[in-house]
Amino acid sequence: MLDLRKFLFLLQVFLIILLSTQVNGNDDVLVLTVATDETHGLQRYLRSAEIYGIKVEVLGRGHLWSGGDMNYAGGGQKINFLKDKLNELMTSEHKDKIILFTDSYDVMFLASLDKILKKFKTFSDTRVLFSAEQFCWPDSKLAAKYPTTEVANPFLNSGGFIGYLPELAEIVNSKTIKDNEDDQLFYTLVYLDKRMRDELKISLDHNSVIFQNLNGALSDVELKTNTTEDWPYIENVVTKQQPLIVHGNGPAKLTLNNLGNYLAQSWSKEKGCAICKEKKVELQEDSLPTIMMAVFIEQPTPFLEEFLLSLLETDYPKEKIHLLLRNNVEYHENEVEKFFQGHAKEFLTAKRIKPSDLITESEARNIAKDRCMNNLCDYLFSIDSLSRVEPGTLRYLLSSGYDVVAPLLARPGQAWSNFWGAISSAGFYARSHDYMEIVYGEIKGIWNVPFITNCYLVKISVFKTNSSKSVTYSKENVDADMAFCASLRELGIFMHVSNEISFGYLVNPENFDITRTHPDVYQVIDNKIEWEKRYLNENYSKNFETGREHLMPCPDVYWFPMMSPRFCQEWIDVMENYGKWSDGSNHDERLEGGYEAVPTRDIHMKQVGLERQWLYILKTYVRPLQEMVFTGYYHNPPVSLMNFVVRYRPDEQPSLRPHHDSSTYTINLALNTPNVDYEGGGCHFIRYNCSVRDTKRGWLLMHPGRLTHYHEGLRVTGGTRYIMISFVNP
Ligand SMILES: *[C@@H]1O[C@H](CO)[C@@H](O)[C@H](O)[C@H]1NC(C)=O
Ligand SMILES: *[C@@H]1O[C@H](CO)[C@@H](O)[C@H](O)[C@H]1NC(C)=O
Ligand SMILES: *[C@@H]1O[C@H](CO)[C@@H](O)[C@H](O)[C@H]1NC(C)=O
Ligand SMILES: *[C@@H]1O[C@H](CO)[C@@H](O)[C@H](O)[C@H]1NC(C)=O
């Protein structure tokens, strides 16, 4: 009697046998490709095969490629590898063996082999099925010889075919081909030979039932998702097919790179970026990779001081970082030199490139890359001064497991970012279907894209190519970053941008005018985040805490911390460097009527190019304070025609006689400190017999302008007092 254990054992054996014959769904199918190099495209191909349980035999691995540049005619070597393999199989295999051949660098499987076979068997009277495309390539004259051209994809493409072993063996043995001759031309001529076509029963997959070639078909193919739980797939909306193998032939490689972000279970709305999770690596603290941190200051940059300091905040041991600090802006040289002198010693090595070195951006970037390779560092971390990244960014990038990867950085609230989703045929920016969703974080993941800039990590091994081409930042008439990305694309090296988490942002240098005194203080509109950090009083937000008791030194005169001491100093510097204080007479050309009843010695914001910025400050930082304390009064944006800094000093104008302001409310910002910068001074409200003398630097007084708050400026007896005044809503 069969005991239970024996039975289970036999069952197990039976299952193992059953499963092993099911490795490719059906033992009668062999999936072949040719790949001499371990490219990112091959990795993507093999992953897609694995996802669908397809076992692939890679022919030519480790061989030297002699099939030419695949952007041009060539590829005969693929046939020669295949011929050897098929001839070997012919000696041992039966005639019902099916061979599926595909290219690999620009191909992905989208379904299991069972599905592919099932579809293949729906082609009647077919022993060999080639994929088909819209272009007759490489010899367009052959188009006239095709038996049918009134179909969706009239012409043979050699990037994918499926058929029975004997017929395929006969095809590849029908003629000889040199490695650098064209494989597609070879198969095309076989197909166009009527005798061979009929005898070997060769058909073309005109409707993309199995094979979808993307070149020329971009508007035919749509990326679709049924529900948020499902993986995206592609549909050929012309032929209503859901292709099972996709080929980014010719210039459509970048389209495949985009689709590949989603296909083969790479990403779904619900599961997120599945492929990202597969690649993650854990950093080993005792053997962290060595980094070349290459810093580039190529243009006048707002808040450069903060940028340099942020480099020191990078969460990574500095003894694992080689620093290369390249500055090409004379204006920043003092700041950069100060930083370098102060901190160079903290790094493993440190090198400067100065404006006076007269090195182009491309050369400088090539130097960084070469130094990295010579210093045996493991990664190049390139960061431009426009980037503002969180301290953990470098670690994140390292542990992403990607060879070339950028953190997504964008100008806050704008679509301007450090990557392109697509590229025009001329090599410039083009918008991809998913660009906005990625920039605004509506979809999250790590995305294969054709262009990255400003901040990225490159694994140094990608620079060590086997190709005669190399990665370079130099190309005639092309910016360094465009040259770099173009060379990566040509080498088939994938670059990525991640928005899995938020990493920081880009500053906007467009209106940064270094002819100004303290140009950063002008940047409140373009670079608000950085501006607030430096110039808003650190206690400003406390004004809005619930239950806060606002200081009121005199009736209805409120008192708020608003600007930082640094703001006050720079604001004074801007005025003093400009220097054209009014003469204190009633005659004032700056005013519409030319007459000022209560004149002060002052400079208007218009005179120093700060009017727009100051109105923005009123709207953004002053108005909310007003609405909080003088409830029920709304006026947005606040209007203010008179915005000026007043200077009081004993030898000029020491005080101001009692007056009303032409305003609904007035603000009075103290720019310096009593008993330190000046003696005396202050503001006296006559109706209340109340004075504010102990004003605080960066604090704002806010009071009604008319009727109740008749006031005067108290006499300054020594030093110089500066206040910033606005008459809001006159
Ligand atoms: C380059 O060639 C070497 C030696 O043949 C091989 O180990 C390596 O994988 C190749 N690199 C690429 C990117 O194919
Ligand atoms: C999506 O729906 C179509 C049509 O109902 C179906 O044929 C296809 O298999 C579905 N695809 C996925 C990935 O769920
Ligand atoms: C902010 O408030 C804290 C605590 O009251 C104080 O110590 C600090 O000096 C204030 N900062 C400024 C810039 O006024
Ligand atoms: C105003 O107040 C001061 C002291 O705070 C006092 O000496 C003076 O008499 C007051 N003036 C009037 C008009 O009430």
Arithmetic mean of pLDDT, 621-644: 95
Do 423 and 473 lie in one domain? The reply is yes
Do 448 and 540 lie in one domain? The reply is no
Residues 710 and 704: their CA atoms lie apart, in Å, by 9
Q: Tell me how many domains the chain contains.
A: 3
Query: Which of 190, 207, 224 lies at the terminal end of a domain, its last residue?
Result: 207
Q: For residue 119, name the pLDDT band (cuts at 50, 70, 90).
A: very high
Q: Whose CA is nearest to atom 1 of ligand 1?
A: 466
Give the model's pLDDT for residue 426.
82
**Can you point out the beta strands (E) in 583-661?**
602-604, 640-648, 656-659
Beta bridge partners of 723: 646, 670
The full 3-state SS of 281-307, as one line of letters, equals CCCCHHHCCCEEEEEEECCCCCCHHHH
Q: For residue 157, name the pLDDT band (cuts at 50, 70, 90).
A: very high
Q: How far is the CA of 231 from the centre of ligand 2 (A)?
A: 9
The domain that holds 428 is classified in CATH as: 3.90.550.10
Give the model's pLDDT for residue 9.
53
In 3D space, the residue among 201, 31, 30, 214 whose CA is nearest the CA of residue 123 turns out to be: 201
Lowest mean pLDDT among 92-96, 212-216, 316-320, 666-670: 92-96
Q: How far is the CA of 38 from the centre of ligand 1 (A)?
A: 7
| 111 assigned to some structural domain | yes
State pLDDT tens for residues 551-600.
999 999 999 999 999 999 999 999 999 999 999 899 999 888 889 888 99
In 3D space, the residue among 498, 524, 287, 332 whose CA is nearest the CA of residue 405 turns out to be: 498
| 5 assigned to some structural domain | no
Atom of ligand 2 nearest to the CA of 233: 13
pLDDT higher than threshold 60 for residue 19: no
Query: Which of 460, 476, 506 lies at the terminal end of a domain, its last residue?
Result: 506
In 3D space, the residue among 721, 605, 569 whose CA is nearest the CA of residue 653 turns out to be: 721
- 542: tokens are 């406390």
pLDDT higher than threshold 80 for residue 133: yes
Do 377 and 495 lie in one domain? The reply is yes
The domain that holds 610 is classified in CATH as: 2.60.120.620
Atom of ligand 1 nearest to the CA of 38: 14
Is the bond preceding 412 in cis, omega lying within 30 degrees of 0?
A: no
Q: Reduced to 3 states, what is the DSSP secondary structure of residue 649?
A: coil
Pocket of ligand 2 from Cβ distances under 6 Å: 226, 230-231, 233
How far from 121 is each of 114, 204, 331, 429, 657, CA to CA, in Å?
Answer: 11, 13, 71, 44, 100
Q: Whose CA is nearest to atom 7 of ligand 1?
A: 62
Q: Reduced to 3 states, what is the DSSP secondary structure of residue 539?
A: coil
pLDDT higher than threshold 70 for residue 3: no
Question: Minimum-distance ligand to the CA of 541?
Answer: 3
State pLDDT tens for residues 259-304.
999 999 999 999 999 999 999 999 999 999 999 999 999 999 999 9
* Angle at 435 (CA atoms; ends 497, 258), nearest 5 degrees: 65
Q: Reduced to 3 states, what is the DSSP secondary structure of residue 343?
A: helix
Give the model's pLDDT for residue 447.
98
What is the enclosing helix (H) or strand (E) of 115?
A: helix 113-120
Give the model's pLDDT for residue 494.
98
112 exposure class (CB count in 10 Å sphere: 0-12, 13-18, 19+): middle
Residues 311 and 237: their CA atoms lie apart, in Å, by 50
Q: In testing the pocket of ligand 1, which one of 34, 36, 37, 462 has its CB within 8 Å of the most ligand atoms?
A: 37
Residues 208 and 188: their CA atoms lie apart, in Å, by 18
Ligand 1 neighbour 466 (Cβ under 6 A): yes
Under a CB-based contact definition with an 8 Å cutoff, are residues 434 and 273 in contact?
Answer: no
Ligand 1 neighbour 403 (Cβ under 6 A): no
Under a CB-based contact definition with an 8 Å cutoff, are residues 573 and 550 in contact?
Answer: no
Give the model's pLDDT for residue 67.
82
Q: Count of alpha carbons within 13 Å of 560, Cβ hemisphere only?
A: 26
Q: How far is the CA of 691 from the centre of ligand 3 (A)?
A: 23
| 511 assigned to some structural domain | no
Q: Count of alpha carbons within 13 Å of 444, Cβ hemisphere only?
A: 10
Pick the more confident residue, 239 or 1. 239
> Roughly what angle, to the nearest 10 degrees, separates helices 528-535 and 565-578?
100
Do 598 and 666 lie in one domain? The reply is yes
| 70 assigned to some structural domain | yes
Alpha-carbon Rg for the chain in angstroms? 35
State pLDDT tens for residues 324-344.
999 999 999 999 999 999 999
Give the model's pLDDT for residue 567.
98
State pLDDT tens for residues 343-358.
999 999 999 999 999 9
Q: How far is the CA of 688 from the centre of ligand 4 (A)?
A: 9
Atom of ligand 1 nearest to the CA of 62: 5
Q: Whose CA is nearest to atom 2 of ligand 3?
A: 539
pLDDT higher than threshold 80 for residue 104: yes
Say which amino acid occupies 571.
W
Residue whose tokens read 């006239």 = 144
Atom of ligand 3 nearest to the CA of 538: 13
Its pTM stands at 0.92
Q: For residue 6, name the pLDDT band (cuts at 50, 70, 90).
A: low
Q: Reduced to 3 states, what is the DSSP secondary structure of residue 727?
A: strand
Question: Minimum-distance ligand to the CA of 537?
Answer: 3
pLDDT higher than threshold 80 for residue 173: yes
Give the model's pLDDT for residue 148.
87
Query: Which of 159, 186, 207 lies at the terminal end of a domain, its last residue?
Result: 207
Residues 332 and 511: their CA atoms lie apart, in Å, by 16
Please give the backbone phi and psi of residue 219, each rounded to the nearest 5 degrees, phi first.
Answer: -85, -10
What is the enclosing helix (H) or strand (E) of 489?
A: helix 480-490
Q: In testing the pocket of ligand 3, which one of 532, 538, 700 has its CB within 8 Å of the most ligand atoms?
A: 538
Do 481 and 563 lie in one domain? The reply is no
Question: Minimum-distance ligand to the CA of 110?
Answer: 2
- 63: tokens are 């061989």
| 269 assigned to some structural domain | no
Q: Whose CA is nearest to atom 4 of ligand 2?
A: 226
Pick the more confident residue, 61 or 12. 61
pLDDT higher than threshold 90 for residue 66: no
- 91: tokens are 């000696």
Lowest mean pLDDT among 56-60, 239-243, 468-472, 726-730: 468-472
Under a CB-based contact definition with an 8 Å cutoff, are residues 159 and 153 in contact?
Answer: no
Please give the backbone phi and psi of residue 688, each rounded to the nearest 5 degrees, phi first.
Answer: -100, 0
The chain-wide mean pLDDT, for the chain, equals: 94
Give the model's pLDDT for residue 21.
44
Say which amino acid occupies 334.
N
State pLDDT tens for residues 215-250.
999 899 999 999 988 999 999 999 999 999 999 998
Do 287 and 338 lie in one domain? The reply is yes
Ligand 1 neighbour 461 (Cβ under 6 A): no
pLDDT higher than threshold 50 for residue 58: yes
What is the enclosing helix (H) or strand (E) of 168?
A: helix 165-172
Give the model's pLDDT for residue 465.
78
Do 169 and 88 lie in one domain? The reply is yes
Do 288 and 142 lie in one domain? The reply is no
Residues 351 and 340: their CA atoms lie apart, in Å, by 9
Question: Minimum-distance ligand to the CA of 689?
Answer: 4
How far from 171 is each of 86, 91, 203, CA to CA, in Å?
Answer: 10, 16, 13
pLDDT higher than threshold 80 for residue 71: no
Do 490 and 527 lie in one domain? The reply is no
Under a CB-based contact definition with an 8 Å cutoff, are residues 77 and 66 in contact?
Answer: yes
| 93 assigned to some structural domain | yes
| 120 assigned to some structural domain | yes
Do 456 and 558 lie in one domain? The reply is no
Q: Whose CA is nearest to atom 10 of ligand 3?
A: 539
Arithmetic mean of pLDDT, 366-377: 90
Atom of ligand 3 nearest to the CA of 537: 13
Give the model's pLDDT for residue 22.
45
Domain containing 68: what range?
Answer: 27-207
Do 51 and 142 lie in one domain? The reply is yes
Do 321 and 466 lie in one domain? The reply is yes
Task: Using a pLDDT cut of 90, give the percent of the chain over it.
Answer: 88
| 252 assigned to some structural domain | no
Please give the backbone phi and psi of residue 17, each rounded to the nearest 5 degrees, phi first.
Answer: -65, -45
Q: In testing the pocket of ligand 1, which one of 34, 40, 466 has its CB within 8 Å of the most ligand atoms?
A: 466
pLDDT higher than threshold 70 for residue 305: yes
Arithmetic mean of pLDDT, 378-395: 98
Under a CB-based contact definition with an 8 Å cutoff, are residues 524 and 617 in contact?
Answer: yes
Q: For residue 467, name the pLDDT band (cuts at 50, 70, 90).
A: confident
> Roughly what angle, to the nearest 10 degrees, separates helices 304-312 and 528-535?
80
Pocket of ligand 3 from Cβ distances under 6 Å: 537-539, 561
Q: How far is the CA of 467 from the centre of ligand 3 (A)?
A: 61
Residues 491 and 8: their CA atoms lie apart, in Å, by 53
Q: How far is the CA of 717 from the centre of ligand 4 (A)?
A: 21
Q: How far is the CA of 226 from the centre of ligand 2 (A)?
A: 6
